[in-house]
Amino acid sequence: MFSDLFHKSKQRYGHPIMLTRPFLVAGLSMFLGTLALGMATPGLTTWVAILGGGPAAQGAAFSTFAITELFMTPWIGRVADRYGRKPFYALGLASYVFVAIGWVLFQNVTAVIAFRAVTGIGSSLIFTMSLSYIGALAPKGQEGRYMGSFAPFVFLGFGIGPLLYGLIRTIGSFELLFSLMGLLCLLSTLIVIFFLPAKPQLESAEASQNDSVKFEQFVPVPWIRIIKDSGMQGIFVARASFAWSISACFAFLPVFLETELGFAAVSIGVLIGAQQFVGGGAQPITGRLSDIFSRTILAVIGSIAVAIALATVAISESYPIMLVSFLIFGGLGTAVAQGAVQAEQVSVGRRLGLSTVAGLMELAFAMGILTGGLGGGLLIRAFGMESIFLISAIVTLFGGFAYAWKSREFAKSPDTIISA
Dist CA 137 CA 133 (whole Å): 6
pTM summary value: 0.80
Dist CA 63 CA 366 (whole Å): 10
Could you tell me the residue range of the domain that residue 377 belongs to?
Answer: 223-409
Dist CA 95 CA 189 (whole Å): 9
pLDDT reported for residue 217: 53
Please indicate, yes or no, whether residues 76 and 158 belong to a single structural domain of this protein: yes
Closest CA to 361 of 134, 94, 159, 131: 131
Please indicate, yes or no, whether residues 171 and 228 belong to a single structural domain of this protein: no
Around Cβ 212, how many Cβ atoms within 10 Å? 18
Chain centroid to Cα 154, Å, comes to 7
- From first to last of its 420 residues, what are the pLDDT tens digits of the chain? 434 433 443 433 344 456 788 899 999 999 999 999 988 887 887 888 889 988 778 777 877 888 888 888 878 888 888 888 999 999 999 999 999 999 999 999 999 999 999 999 999 999 999 999 998 888 888 888 899 899 889 888 887 887 788 888 888 888 999 999 999 999 999 999 999 998 775 444 444 444 444 444 556 788 899 999 999 999 999 999 998 988 777 777 777 887 788 887 677 777 777 787 788 888 889 988 999 989 999 999 999 999 999 999 889 888 899 989 988 998 899 999 999 999 999 999 988 988 999 999 989 988 888 888 778 778 888 888 888 889 999 999 999 999 999 886 544 433 333 333
231 assigned to some structural domain = yes
> Residues near 244 by Cβ (< 8 Å), separated by ≥ 6?
368, 369, 371, 372, 375, 392, 395
Closest CA to 115 of 96, 94, 89: 96
Cα–Cα–Cα angle for 131, 283, 242, rounded to 5 degrees: 70
33 assigned to some structural domain = yes
Task: Extract the runs of DSSP E, i.e. beta strands, from 251-373.
Answer: none
Please indicate, yes or no, whether residues 239 and 121 belong to a single structural domain of this protein: no
Q: What is the CATH number of the domain that holds 317?
A: 1.20.1250.20
Around Cβ 132, how many Cβ atoms within 10 Å? 28
Please indicate, yes or no, whether residues 179 and 231 belong to a single structural domain of this protein: no
pLDDT reported for residue 201: 57
Please indicate, yes or no, whether residues 231 and 194 belong to a single structural domain of this protein: no
Please indicate, yes or no, whether residues 242 and 186 belong to a single structural domain of this protein: no
Please indicate, yes or no, whether residues 291 and 231 belong to a single structural domain of this protein: yes
Asked if 117 contacts 250 with a C-beta cutoff of 8 angstroms, the reply is: no
Give the total number of structural domains in the chain.
2
192 assigned to some structural domain = yes
Please indicate, yes or no, whether residues 147 and 287 belong to a single structural domain of this protein: no
123 assigned to some structural domain = yes
Q: Which residues of 283-292 are buried (b: 16+ CB within 10 A; e: fewer)?
A: bbbbbbbbbe
Dist CA 16 CA 210 (whole Å): 10
Reported as half-sphere exposure (CB side, CA atoms, 13 A), residue 129 has a value of 31
68 assigned to some structural domain = yes
DSSP state of 316: -
Cα–Cα–Cα angle for 69, 71, 76, rounded to 5 degrees: 85
194 assigned to some structural domain = yes
Asked if 142 contacts 15 with a C-beta cutoff of 8 angstroms, the reply is: yes
Task: Indicate the angle between helix axes 230-250 and 354-383, nearest 10 degrees.
Answer: 40
Please say whether the dihedral angle defined by the alpha carbons of residues 362, 376, 33 and 123, taken in this order, is positive or negative: positive
Number of helical H runs and strand E runs in the chain: 19, 0
414 assigned to some structural domain = no
339 assigned to some structural domain = yes
Dist CA 219 CA 71 (whole Å): 23
Please indicate, yes or no, whether residues 271 and 161 belong to a single structural domain of this protein: no
Please indicate, yes or no, whether residues 158 and 244 belong to a single structural domain of this protein: no
Please indicate, yes or no, whether residues 183 and 286 belong to a single structural domain of this protein: no
Identify residue 363 by its one-letter amino acid code.
L
